[in-house]
A and B are shown apart, each in its own frame.
Chain A
Amino acid sequence: MIDAIVLPLLKILVVLNAVLVGVTFMVLLERKVIAWAQARLGPMRVGPYGMLQPIADVLKLMVKEDITPAKADKWVFTAAPMIALIPALIVFAVVPFGPEVSIFGRRVTLAITDLNVGLLYVVSVTSIGVYGIILAGWASNSKFPLLASLRASAQLISYEVAVTMILVSMVVSAGTLSMAGIIDAQYQQGVWYAFAQPLAFVVFFIGGLAETNRAPFDMPEAEQELTGGFHTEYSGMRFALFFLAEYANMIVVSCVATTLFLGGWLQPFPNVSALSFLGFVPGWMWFLGKTFVFLYVFLWIRATLPRYRYDQLMRIGWKVLIPLGIANVVVSAVLKVLL
């Protein structure tokens, strides 16, 4: 009874809280990191070094007036941000945060569940997130958000193909679709897949940047172009939900990248006994550290690079990344059979 119901509920509670708090503080992190890259300090007033800024932001957004455009479709308008956020949160059900640990004498795996098709679950759930964007643009009943949302969603589904190709090659390397299984395979094979499949790593990361509409692929939401893109008509908490969805997606991509390419919760060189002292640091801390590295790189790239024009963006997705992804699948499969 405890194992079947209470434990999963507790895990869900912990993970959901962690993710939501994490997402809120991502807002602060982004502002701080980009500020420091730009030779300024970022938010400094609220709390020590601006640490309580996210709380101020959330409070402000909650008390804002809730404006719905006159002829907008009320239900869809309200539902769109939720449809954008919920898939991003559900994905965390299969993310393995750590190995089996003992809590109060009970063996507990630090993952909500482990589906044997975990990776496929991740891909399919994130593909539902596209609806949030499309519906947001449509429900606003205004030309510009509609065009912007169609562009954003076209970008998303294009890069989904490239990312899925990469995931297929990882599945070929690991021999299993389950997330915990992939970490195990990296342990067994003694190498993090970032080194065994560097091309896949790079393509996945670029695809992840494009999937989450982050710079340099953020043309659909660039303020200079179509005045705010698909969330132009949203204000207050609904707008906040879109932002949270974007950051949650970033965290999802980082977690998946960590699991697939950096060995998840494995310490560096797990098979080398000389370095086993690194096991002192618990697995979930390694996992969070690696995820944080990815998130930092996301922000770093945003601060540094200009953005691609929309047609160049689509060209890269279709003409560069997808062929590379397919080639990667073929080569991984061939090598897997030969070696």
Chain B
Amino acid sequence: MAPESQPMFDTDEIVLNMGPQHPSTHGVLRVVLRLDGERVVGSDVVIGYLHRGIEKLCENRDWTQIVLLTDRMDYVAAATNNVGYCQTVEKLMSIEVPRRARYLRTIMCELQRIASHCLWLGTHAMDIGAMTVFLYAFRERELILDLFEEYCGARLTYNSMRIGGLPLDIPPGWDKKVLAFCDIMDTKLVEYEQLLTHNRIWLERTKGVGVISAEEAVAIGLSGPPLRGSGVKHDIRKDEPYAAYDEMQFEVPVGEAGDTYDRYLVRIEEFRQSVKIIRQAIEGLPEGPITGKVPRLIKPPAGETYHAIESPKGELGYFIAADGKSTAPYRFRVRPPSFCNLQALPRLIQGHLVADVVALIGSVDVVLGEVDR
């Protein structure tokens, strides 16, 4: 729009376009805001800029090839997507995954949870102005990426799971390195909390911002930390355990007020719980095979199934329909947590100031790869 033709005070609302290229929308997200002065009176979230047709592509790939497509959805925590997909197919084909593989999958998922939360913390803090936390969080994320690079050779998109288990066993000494990382992470968490949790400016920017009640959260279909931040104690790892989670002791942090500050606290506590789970899993890591009995040609029987796991962003679900005849799924559908959580964004930013919009996008923690697929 030509700014000079817009009279400044003739109407009360101005339309502000944030993105798709914007330093704070965490990807190619476009939010069109209708502002009254500085207050948001309405908004429109436009997605689809990162749509690559993954679901359709999967209909032409065989079951093992799909694993590397799932990496590209939530590219911040790629191994989680792999695990979710493989488990769904294993459910469809009733394949039993050996214990060692389940433990290793747990370890990988929790490492990814820490990596994803590191990225969330860094970008969320940087949007609110605390630049230093960004560098600190990425320093820890680099350690995790190094661990994964040692395991499977890649830093971001791992292709690290197969139907029935894992393709590779962990290299020798890897578990000691993971334990050393856990020790480092514990000390660094103290640093992050010192910088933010009781900082008056942080509190003023996040307390009371973007409040969503428990009933609303359930009604909108939120999952993950946004849901738990509003007081609903729902975590798929506890309610419908998968991998080795039924053998792990951990707590599920739940918030009270449903504002940005509670979502922040929930995720910080999830850091700690993830470290706890990883330690238990490494110490209890059983010996054994890393792949179950899987036929050479993977051809699930005709049928459909839905399986969900708790990814760092929320409930990541896969719906797969196989027709029993071809080596590709008939329908491959993903329930991405970011997509469903993003639906809450217009409701969250209603009535807030423009500066809060950025904080709220960070608080919902979306990754556009998963929203658009």
Contact = CB atoms under 8 A, between A and B. Distances in A.
16 contacts: A38-B134, A39-B139, A40-B135, A71-B4, A141-B4, A142-B3, A143-B3, A143-B6, A223-B23, A224-B358, A302-B131, A304-B195, A305-B199, A306-B199, A308-B205, A309-B204
Interface string A21-45: 0000000000000100111100000
Contacts of A303: 131-132
Contacts of A12: none
B3 A305 contact: no
Contacts of A143: 3, 6, 14
B201 A306 contact: yes
Interface residues of A, number: 30
A222 B130 CA distance: 12
Contact of A308 (B132, B201, B358): B201
Contact of A219 (B23, B132, B135, B355): B355
Interface of B: 3-4, 6, 14, 22-24, 38, 125-132, 134-136, 139, 195-196, 199, 201-202, 204-205, 353-356, 358
A311 interface: yes
Given A37-B132, A39-B139, A143-B3, A306 B205 contact: yes
Contacts of A38: 131-132, 134-136
Given A38-B131, A304-B195, A310 B139 contact: no
A189 B372 CA distance: 70
B contact patch SS: helix
Interface in A176-233: 215-216, 218-219, 222-227
B108 to A, nearest CB: 27
B128 A307 contact: yes
Nearest to A308: B201
A224 B136 contact: no
Among B22, B355, B358, which residue has the most Cβ atoms of chain A within 10 A? B355
Interface in A290-323: 302-312
Given A141-B3, A143-B6, A306 B358 contact: no
Contacts of B358: 224-225
Nearest to B195: A304
A311 B356 CA distance: 11
Contacts of B131: 34, 38, 302-303
Contacts of A34: 131-132
Contacts of B202: 306
A307 B358 CA distance: 13
A79 B356 CA distance: 34
A311 B125 contact: no
Nearest to B6: A143
Contacts of B128: 306-307
Contacts of A222: 129
Contact of B201 (A37, A216, A225, A227): A216
B130 A306 contact: yes
A166 B355 CA distance: 30
Interface in A98-151: 141-143
Nearest to A309: B355
Nearest to A223: B23
